[in-house]
Structure formats: C-alpha cells, structure tokens
C-alpha cells in the first residue's frame, strides 16, 4: 500500500469561554426559577424539585474546568439555556463553514499545500447544521478546491473514521490530497437544563491534511502505520433529532431530541473495548506498549483516559504520555483527540510512535497508529 501521511493539522478555538463556576451559577438560577414557578405542583408531590449542580462534582467526575462556545450569553441566560446563533442568508458562509475555513487554513499552511494541491474535502462531525448542500461542498467552494466533498457523521469518532476514508481515497487513487475537517458546535445539541450532562461539551473545529508520502513536503509528517475502526450498536449515547421529527408533533422539542447518555454505562462498556482495540492493534503490528510514546485519546472524561492508558501501557501514564485538553476545552466530540495531537507532538523525533484514538456514540471506536517521519 502507498505510504500515506498526515502532513498538517489546524485548530479553530472560539473566542468565548465558560468556566464551571459561570455554568453552574446559570444552571442553579434556572433551577430556582423552575422550582419557584412549579412550587405548588412540587408541594403537592406532583413534580419533583430540580436539584442544584456543583463545580466540585463536575471537576471531580469529568476533569472539565471550562469550555469554549460560539455564544456564551444565550447559554448562560437562565431563561434560555441555548446558544443564540442567528440564521444567515444563503449567500453568506454558514457557521460550520466559517470554522472549517479557519482550521483548514492553518492545516494547509502547516502542510505547505494550496487549494490546487487538494482534491477532496471531508467534513466529519457529530452534527451538521443543515441537510444539504453538504457543508463539505461549501467549504470546498470557499477555499477554491476542485474535486469532490462529502459530509459524514460517526459522532465522537467522526475524525478517525474521516482519516480512514481519506486514507482509502488516496490509496485507491480517487484523491491525491484530502482535507478532513471537524467543525463541532456541541453547544447546539447539549441540553443545558440537564444536571447530569450540562457541563460536558464545548465548541471547536480541527482540520487534518492527508496525502501520499511521495507528495508531502511538510517538515512535520506522520505516517499512518495502521488504522482500525469498530462499531457496536448501543443506545447509551443517543440523540433522536432528525428530519422525521415533524411527523410526530408530540415529540418536537422534547429532551430526547438533544444529547442524552447513560454516563456510567458508557464508562464501563467503552473503556475496556477501547483498550482492547489498541492493544490488539499493537500486537498485530508487533509493537510493544513501551514503544508507544503518546496516546492522543478522545477527550470526554479524564478518569476514562487514565483507565484506558493504564490498560494499554500496563501502568499509569504520565501527563505527557496521555495529554489532557478536556480541562480547557471539555468534550469537543470528534475534534478532541485531534486537538490533543495538534497541541502535543512538538517533542516527537523521527520514528517515534503514537496512537490517535476516538470513541463515542454508536458505539464507535477509531484508532490510528502514527509514526513520525
């Protein structure tokens, strides 16, 4: 198989950030308002009073300290709890396209590529802001790229699945160089009124340039040694939002049309599956765990990552071996492991090996073994 490399990455971080303290303050105001408005029903035992959230719980249970968002005011307004993202005329770039352009520009500069060098765009994310035309086709047009583009969604694993699609396209000759982008506006699908999950997500966009090693000129290239994808059906992370919703009036706007999860079950079921996948992949490649210099893991929960890294390495990982970005960014769905890779590889020397791994709804797991060239 032709050698295929990642030759550049890019990151767009929204300007606005929300601390746990700010988020909890707005949530608790919402709870007080709700309980006040429903005092009679609560006193009569017809409704259960909502409970306050806490910064201590959030940081201890998840490791998250803050998150970036497209619109802070709408999220923190206790009478709204939803970002304000006004519709734009069709002639203007969509929000997802705008984020994608920013991340893609950095990735293209890093890889030393112009629009003429790229002939495919994949937009891989958990949510698309419209049904069609594909966001990828809009990004392609905005950047002046000829060829083809398509959107794909494998929830939190969209980026690693996107990397494999790009790799396959280059290997089979349908593209020479692919731009794979992950605009994640997670604040759009997060239920900020749900105590169990209101703190989980943040917004961001990452981009990756993939090409044949023969055309790559970047000073910082990573050979894709192997990539492995796995999906196992589960309803433990689910969002029922979709184009058929209007077919049942009673369901429109209900909480199941936003992100819902059974966090404990996800934790218990996904960690062993991820660790096993990475370990089997290393074994297949005749690599020992101590040859793995870095684990750029999906960024959903700090304890989850510590557990996965421990199972793979057979000991606790250092903060350098398994870098954390979720403390600052929260869970940014498919972009999380790519942010970790983007920010934590400058110490890599020739032949150093790492694994870029994502996991999430589906369930879905994608792991890509990378070697610095």
Is residue 186 part of the annotated active site? The answer reads no
Identify the three-state secondary structure at position 6. strand
Q: Binding to ligand COA by residue 241, rule CB under 6 A?
A: no
Residue with tokens 């009478």: 79
The nearest distance, CB 41 to ligand COA, in angstroms, is 21
The nearest distance, CB 341 to ligand COA, in angstroms, is 18
Q: How far apart are CA 177 and CA 107, in angstroms?
A: 12
* Helix, strand, coil percent content, the chain, rounded in steps of 5: 40, 25, 40
Q: Binding to ligand COA by residue 205, rule CB under 6 A?
A: no
Please provide residue 20's backbone torsions phi and psi, each rounded to the nearest 5 degrees: -60, -40
Identify the three-state secondary structure at position 261. strand
Residue (54 or 105) nearer to ligand COA, CB: 54
The residues, ordered by sequence, that sit 6+ positions from 94 with a Cβ below 8 Å of its Cβ are 88, 129, 130, 135, 138
Query: Which of 190, 237, 312, 365 is close enough to bind ligand COA by CB under 6 A?
Result: 237
Measured CA angle at 344 (ends 341, 293), to 5 deg:
85
Q: Binding to ligand COA by residue 53, rule CB under 6 A?
A: yes
Q: Binding to ligand COA by residue 266, rule CB under 6 A?
A: yes
Which range binds ligand COA by CB under 6 A, 53-61, 138-146, 226-234, 250-258?
53-61
Q: Binding to ligand COA by residue 187, rule CB under 6 A?
A: no
Q: Binding to ligand COA by residue 10, rule CB under 6 A?
A: no
DSSP lists the bridge partners of residue 214 as none
Q: Which two tokens stand for residue 305?
A: 């990552």
Which range binds ligand COA by CB under 6 A, 215-223, 299-307, 339-347, 364-372?
299-307
Which residues inside 87-146 make contact with ligand COA, applying CB under 6 A? none
Q: Which two tokens stand for residue 76?
A: 């923190």
| Residue ranges binding ligand COA (CB under 6 A) | 53-54, 57-58, 61-62, 156, 195-196, 237, 261, 263-264, 266-267, 300-301, 304, 331, 360-361
The residues that are catalytic are 156
């Amino acid at each position: 198989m032709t050698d295929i490399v990642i030759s550049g990455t890019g990151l767009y971080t929204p300007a606005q950030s929300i601390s746990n303290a700010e988020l909890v303050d707005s949530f608790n105001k919402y709870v007080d308002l709700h309980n006040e408005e429903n005092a009679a029903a609560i006193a009569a035992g017809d409704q259960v009073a909502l409970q306050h959230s806490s910064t201590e719980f959030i940081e201890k249970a998840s490791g998250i300290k803050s998150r970036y968002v497209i619109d802070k005011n709408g999220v923190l307004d206790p009478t709204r709890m939803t970002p304000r993202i006004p519709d734009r005329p069709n002639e203007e770039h969509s929000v997802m396209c705008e984020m994608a352009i920013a991340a893609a520009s950095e990735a293209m500069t890093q890889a030393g590529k112009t629009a003429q060098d790229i002939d495919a765009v994949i937009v891989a994310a958990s949510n698309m802001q419209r049904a069609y035309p594909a966001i990828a086709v809009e990004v392609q047009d905005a950047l002046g790229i000829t060829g083809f583009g398509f959107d794909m969604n494998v929830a939190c694993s969209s980026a690693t699945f996107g990397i494999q699609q790009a790799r396959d396209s280059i290997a089979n000759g349908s593209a020479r160089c692919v731009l794979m982008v992950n605009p994640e506006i997670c604040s759009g699908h997060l239920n900020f009124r749900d105590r169990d999950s209101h703190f989980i997500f943040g917004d961001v966009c990452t981009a990756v340039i993939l090409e044949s090693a023969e055309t790559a000129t970047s000073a910082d290239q990573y050979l894709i040694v192997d990539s492995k994808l796995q999906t196992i059906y589960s309803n433990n992370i689910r969002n029922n939002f979709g184009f058929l919703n209007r077919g049942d009036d009673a369901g429109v706007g209900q909480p199941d049309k936003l992100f819902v999860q059974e966090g404990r079950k996800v934790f218990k079921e996904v960690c062993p599956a991820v660790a096993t996948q990475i370990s089997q992949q290393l074994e297949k490649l005749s690599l020992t765990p101590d040859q793995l210099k870095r684990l750029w893991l999906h960024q959903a929960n700090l304890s989850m990552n510590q557990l996965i890294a421990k199972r793979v390495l057979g000991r606790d990982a250092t903060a350098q071996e398994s870098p954390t970005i979720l403390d600052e960014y929260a869970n940014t769905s498919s972009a999380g492991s790519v942010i970790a890779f983007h920010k934590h590889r400058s110490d890599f020397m020739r032949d150093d090996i790492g694994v870029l791994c994502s996991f999430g709804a589906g369930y879905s797991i994608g792991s890509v073994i990378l070697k610095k060239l």
